[in-house]
Amino acid sequence: FIQTFVGWTIDAGHSAAQISTKIPNEIIAGIIYWLLMILVVGICVAGTGILAILIEIKVIELYKKNCWDVITLLMILTSAAVIIYFGEVIKKALSINLLFFWLILQGIYLTIRRYISQDTD
């Protein structure tokens, strides 16, 4: 995913920087090309970083609110151990990134815990 995102970001930077080809002076065109390239890539990377931080803060708040206990710790460690031990078998069966699979499992667990805590309140 990161490799794809970086490719898209660099392509967007190249596309925006093509404006500099209309400038007849080669030195100024080169400077504007790299300024536009750095600006577009910087904005894309900064925006993605801020979005990732905001998502991480929300997930941490949900964990603290709904499932900050020993059961959650055991679930995290057990699911990580199972994915590590059966990694090759899982890759053959599902053809999915194991880290992404672990995050999906944690999301399912968090959803179940949140549903159960709402039910008991």
Q: Do 55 and 102 belong to one domain?
A: no
Q: Do 52 and 94 belong to one domain?
A: no
Q: pTM higher than 0.85 for the full model?
A: no
Residue 40 CB coordination number (10 Å): 19
Question: Residue 15 belongs to what domain range?
Answer: 1-61
Q: What is the mean pLDDT of residues 83-110?
A: 87
User: For 76, what's the count of Cα atoms within 13 Å in the CB-facing half-sphere?
Assistant: 9
Last residue of a domain, one of 61, 92, 109: 61
27-77 tens-digit pLDDT = 887 888 888 888 888 888 898 889 989 988 988 887 777 677 888 888 889
Q: Do 42 and 75 belong to one domain?
A: no
d(CA 76, CA 71): 9
CA separation, residue 10 to residues 15, 38, 64, 93 (Å): 9, 9, 37, 34
What six digits make up the tokens of 112? 């179940």
